[in-house]
Structure 1
Amino acid sequence: MTQATEAPHYMRRNVLDPVPALGELRSSTAVTKLVTAVGMPAYLVTRYEDVKAALADPQRFSNRKPPGWAAAPGASNVTAEEHARLTAGNLLGIDPPEHQRIRRMLTSEFTVRRMQRLEPRIIEIVDQHLDAMERTGPPADLVAGFALPIPSLVICELLGVPYQDRTDFQQRSSRQLNFSLPADERWALQLAAREYMMSLVQRARRNPGDDMLGMLVRQHGDEVTDDELVGIGGLLLLAGHETTSNMLGLGTIALLQRPDQLAAVRDDPDALGPAIEELLRYLSVVQNAIPRITTTAVEIGGVPIPAGQVVILSLPAANRDPQFIDAPDTLDIHRGAPGHLAFGHGVHHCLGAPLARMEMRIAFPALLRRFPHLAMAEDVDEVRFHAFNLVYGAQSLQVTW
């Protein structure tokens, strides 16, 4: 199997939009055979109803991968025992009923009520970073100074991760998700991330604090293993800052291109909730759901797929499907986009969705009110994007005010 040298259609963008070829595939056929970003043959599903149905069916579309599965870079020599340890606790790598057991332990930490208790601290974090941007003055890199550090600090405090370690884990996680890198390098990064999280788990075992790892040790210490705690913490740390930070960066670009909608997000509290949902749909920063493996022969839209095949579920294509929503390529913050799949669907629906929504509801209007004349300091065509990553976003974004 050969590492892909060019991003497949489902990972390509024209700035904020999926490339037209992805929409053409969706229009022409329900399922397309292709080669994934890691060089694996797979079936690509692009239509909203088909993607949603597959996400809701873990019995036939499994998240669990066999030992040595090639999408785990460098993992070809991993034994079954090692594979079990590496996937333990990772909600995106396990299926029911094990999945429900782990998720139930975490649910209380991600309720809307729990998020509301975090709101004053998130507001404080946002204001601190806006203060720092204002002191430094324009131009400024919105990604480095705002979009990335805010969700990073929030998830660090929630998990009990030392914030001084943020530079290391941010760089590591960004490279883990970069499929243009050699497989062995990404595998080494994955192992390094695991080693780091194990050190935090062992610290929590010795002295559990008030953070999430400490809570899990205190309340579930006898029923959760260290490997499961590592899987839980590693996933939340990775997902908790990569996704929201890229939404903040890309969302700012989208709003700056549409002054009327920007003004509504800035000034109208009633418009904010629907705006966040529409931005989530329109941007769909997660390029695809975690690849599924068919557990039996299935048929999607009349296309047969044998058992044991890799299935890629394209979230941007599904969220831009005209059968799902009218004028899908238009950003309209007033419609709210109910039913979008940006957070997934079914049992694997993103556990951290309430936190991500709260961070965006606080950060977007705060940024736009603080800098009412915010503008891009570079042409959008000059912005460098993470073009070969699982989570799409801007590498940097120069702004002025």
Structure 2
Amino acid sequence: MTSPTVSPDRRPSQDRLALRLPPEYTERAPDRPFHPAAHQSELGREGPVHEVALSDGDRAWLVTGHEEARALLADPRLSSDRFRSTRMVEKIPPELRKRLLDPATRAGNFITMDAPDHTRYRRLLTGQFTVRRMRLLEPRVHEIVTSHLDAMIEAGTSADLVPAFALPVPSLVICELLGVRYEDRDEFQERTSTLLRLDAHVDDVVRAADEQRAFMRALVRRKRVEPADDLLSGLIEAEAALTDDELVSISNLLLIAGHETTANMIGLGTFALLEHPAELARLRADPSLTPGAVEELLRYLSIVHLGPIRLTLEDVEIGGVTVPADSTVIVSVPVVNRDPRTYRDPDTLDVARPRVSHLAFGHGIHQCLGQQLARVEMAVAFTEMLRRLPGLRLDLPAGEVPLRSDMLVYGVHSLPVSWDETAS
């Protein structure tokens, strides 16, 4: 089906498809913070594939069906490399286009690559992100979670959960994994915030990107001379042919993804549990439910406003609809994970939901490399937080919790909470 064009009062300043969609596609209702944007949900109820109008006059195809999304994400006829389309390249602001097309910037940026280039990087990184290695990290994750909860309890009976717990825990984990000094976290988190702001000016984006690449380049050069027991040193040792440009891009992708996504799932997930007290009580009473509850939170919540973007290399049939070659295809992860054809009572949070399958980590060759680490971090964080903070509750009305609607990665900007004095 076709939806009408709505012209927003904003000019895209970044290469962000979300900004080229009318705002009703991405803006979530303040009184429904855990649900997809209403317009996306409406489209999902009407069918699995939709032709939509972008605010600049271009068109795209929005996929809202679970089965259709899985199929297209595994289909080699759809490319992750937008630079294969002159049409898509021309939509990027000129100031940013030059930077994005720079070979130094593109080197190692494996999330925008297709096979065989993507295969080479994926193989290298898979060796560093084995399930066994992630499980070996679990005791250290426990230590990090425990130390932050200790600090919160020692400081009193209230805190803003985001800066006190949700953000620093995964930040410290990914810093140690990569070999980044944790003392530098404020610096790279500030740049990351600029890079992920939907309304950031292109000049600020370019500046933040340049500073982050310079920061990571210095680290790469140090690791070549002084290797350690970390992922970056492991990549250098495993593949001596990797250039500094490749290592910089790979490390930046892992650093940003490794702390932003998990941090926002912990923050938003805690908010959701506090707003569903019956589910929180079930989880607190039976911690064995936690692994399944993590999967349910990943399904029920979505920290992306849209999802993976692909380019059709030829005419492709998706859900009975023929999508022409050189078309932009967007997977609506928030709606796909609520598909009633796949899930019973999809709009209900059920921490005991059996065999939860979802696309929060993607599907196909671009499925998230760090998903096992994210699962470990979330499971430990929720288990220990609920065990050690009895009576955990919001310190303000739910409608006043500031949402990250202005960011590429959704969640909460802050989450003031309090707990009983019996915390230990």
Q: Confirm or deny a common fold (TM above 0.5).
A: yes
User: 2-side partners of 1:79 and 1:384: how far apart?
Assistant: 32
Residue 28 (structure 2) aligned to one of 12, 16, 21: 12
Kept after mapping to 1: 8 A contact 2:179/2:231? yes
1:77 aligns with 2:77: no
Q: Which residue of 2 aligns with 1:234?
A: 252
Which residue is equivalent to 2:283?
Answer: 265
Displacement after TM superposition at 1:187 (Å): 3.1
Alignment partner of 1:314 out of 332, 352, 360? 332
Give the match for residue 66 of structure 1: 83
Alpha-carbon distance in 2 for matches of 1:250, 1:324: 24
**What residue in structure 2 maps to residue 27 of structure 1?**
45
1:52 correspondence with 2:70: yes
**Alpha-carbon distance change, 86 to 76 in structure 1, aligned in 2, over 3 angstroms:** same
Partners of 1:390 and 1:356 in 2: CA distance? 19
Which runs of 5 or more residues in structure 2 are unaligned?
Answer: 1-9, 13-18, 420-424
- 1:65-112: per-residue Cα shift (whole Å, max 9, x none)? 2184645884233485x1x32122223111111112111112132222
By how many angstroms is 1:43 displaced? 2.2
Residue type of the alignment partner of 1:240: G
What is the TM-score when the length of structure 1 is the normalising length? 0.92
Change beyond 3 A, Cα 1:177–1:42: farther
Determine whether 1:150 maps to 2:173.
no
Partner residue, 1:112: 131
**1:218-238, CA deviations, whole angstroms, 9 ceiling, x for partnerless residues?**
2212x3121111121011101
> Matches of residues 174-185 of structure 1 in structure 2 within 5 Å?
174-185=193-204
The 3 A distance-change label for structure 1 pair 120 and 78 is: closer
Cα drift, residue 337 of structure 1: 4.9
- In the alignment, which of 77, 91, 111 is matched to residue 110 of structure 2? 91
Classify the secondary structure of the residue corresponding to 2:317: strand
| Distance in 2 separating the partners of 1:40 and 1:177 | 23
Paired residue for 2:227? Answer: 208
Name structure 1 gaps, 5 residues minimum. none
Identity %: 46
Hey, what does 2:4 align to over in structure 1? Answer: none
Aligned to 2:395: 377
- Local SS of the residue matching 1:110: coil
Distance 2:402 2:58 in 1: 27
Cα RMSD of the aligned pairs, angstroms, is 2.2
Does the CA contact (< 8 Å) of 1:266 and 1:366 recur in 2? no
Question: Secondary structure of 2:330's match?
Answer: strand
Instruction: Measure, in 1, the Cα distance between the counterparts of 2:254 and 2:108.
Output: 11
Describe the superposition over 1:129-188 as per-residue Cα deviations: whole angstroms up to 9, x where unpaired: 111111222331100100000000000000001111111211211221221222332233
Question: Mean alpha-carbon deviation: is it higher for 345-354 or for 134-143?
Answer: 134-143
Equivalents in 1 of 2:370, 2:90: separation in Å? 27
* Structure 2 Cα separation of the partners of residues 189 and 328 of structure 1: 39
Secondary structure, aligned partner of 2:359: coil
Q: 2:155 aligns with which of 128, 132, 136?
A: 136
Distance 1:139 1:65, change over 3 A: same
Contact 2:196/2:409 (8 A) holds in 1: yes
| Residue 208 (structure 2) pairs with residue 192 (structure 1) | no
**Partner secondary structure for residue 18 of structure 1:** coil
